[in-house]
Amino acid sequence: MEYSKIRTRFAPSPTGYMHVGNLRTALYAYLISKHEDGDFILRIEDTDQERYVEGAVDIINNTLKATGLIHDEGPDLGGDYGPYVQSERKGIYLQYAKELVDKGEAYYCFCDKDRLENLRKDLESKNETFRYDKHCLHLSKEEIQENIEKGIPYVIRQNNPVEGTTSFEDVIYGHISVDNSELEDMILIKSDGLPTYNFANVVDDHLMKITHVVRGSEYLSSSPKYNRLYDAFGWEVPVYVHCPPIMKDAHNKLSKRNGDASFQDLVAKGYLKEAVLNYIALLGWNPGGNEEIFSLEDLVKIFDYKNINKSPAIFDSQKLKWMNGEYIKRLPLDTFHDLALPYYEGILPKEMDSKKVSELMQTRVEVLSEIPEKIGFFAELPEYSIEIFLHKKMKTTIENSLENLTKILPALEALEPWNSDTISGLISEFVSKEGIKNGQIMWPIRSALSGLQSSPGGYLELADILGKDESISRIKIAINNLQSHL
């Protein structure tokens, strides 16, 4: 089918944080539209007022803005098809629901909670799935009007057939057919006058001229009911793109309810928003080839929704961490330094050149939150085991480490000025004069300065950052410790 213009929508419920799955839906909808120079619409689906969370709309807007998924129409921008908040469209849904009633495709239902609960219990006792029994379908117009005038609460239900089948096509999952006997007469308008999600999204997608509907595969089972609504109205069915679930592991879905990270959590943990978006794009979609690092602009150019995989996607934290590290390495140093500064506060001494620390750390962290643990030794020499001086490849022992540190200490104390060039020159002279391997002095100095088995950077960077006084002090401590182990 040819479309004059592709129009997709992201229609979240304002119920809290932006989950990874929601963000992927927004991303795929954005990419589908922008790949064809189409429109991307933001619609807020707030018909379930009991789940509404104050401030959640701001989270949605801020997340889309932060990730670059800029919508063309929405509550904040307006557009030709507003309002873009469902609670502001209440009268629209009731009008269309009554149209279905007039066509016999929907009906008023006055059953109270007690009757519905008794029906549920009765079906459960027979091991049958709960479905409304069409009890109110055959009420006369007079009975309906009388009940309404009495103020009896009611809902409007869809009137689905009990025989035959309903079929539809999904881009990802192909041809799907469902027996109509499995279709429940779902509620279209609730007793508070607001529509259910299932009804409102169909009406809104049609009125907003949405051509491609992107959503999670959990909505596959509801799609036949949606299609029957489209058919009842005589409307064209949009292209369905149902995305595979994102799994925590082989058996469990990724879920905020289970403590899994939201977009906000990941950013707070030190992941770059660009890296998160890049990684999420690959959860269920493969561009082909070996390249995995893509900017949003790259994704717009290459994204083909027909390559979305129907198999569940596993959220691999280690893969995300690796990707984030790649993004960090590619940042301009000044940008990384600005991002790292908050992690230095309260740890690095104020007199220390933090820019030099950033030069050292940029290629050595995968997540910004790793920084405090990795730089703690700059602030205070950790308690260490003497084994850190032992290195088979460098041919260092306690004895030769002690000997070489003791010999070079006076030269280091006399060294002026203290910088990378002068320290390097001094070490070269010492190695030549003593006839030793480079590692036999470089490794003991590195160990003395860091107090770690593995440190970010070698002896030269550490000595330069720590400065002369602190470096000399730490080497003296190392000499004393080595002497105590002989």
Residue ranges at the known binding site for Zn(2+): 109, 111, 136, 138
- Closest by alpha carbon to 329, among 379, 293, 377? 293
Please tell me whether residue 127 adopts helix, strand or coil conformation.
coil
Q: Decide if 28 contacts 280 (C-beta within 8 A).
A: no
Burial class of 68 by CB neighbour count within 10 A (0 to 12, 13 to 18, 19+): middle
The 3-class SS string of 28-52 reads HHHHHHHHCCCEEEECECCCCHHHC
CA 252 – CA 245 distance, rounded (Å): 10
Query: CA angle, 260 as apex, 257 and 261 as ends, to 5°?
Result: 120
CA 244 – CA 337 distance, rounded (Å): 38
Amino acid at 478: A
- Find the Cα–Cα–Cα–Cα dihedral 202, 206, 212, 215, rounded to 10°: -20
Query: Which H or E run includes 482?
Result: helix 468-484
Burial class of 328 by CB neighbour count within 10 A (0 to 12, 13 to 18, 19+): buried
CA 223 – CA 182 distance, rounded (Å): 12
Please tell me whether residue 243 adopts helix, strand or coil conformation.
strand
Helix pair 56-67, 20-35: axis angle to 10 deg: 50
Q: How many CB atoms lie within 10 A of CB 222?
A: 16
**Known binding site: residues?**
109, 111, 136, 138, 256
CA 445 – CA 439 distance, rounded (Å): 10
Q: How many CB atoms lie within 10 A of CB 484?
A: 8
Would you name the residues annotated as active-site residues? 256
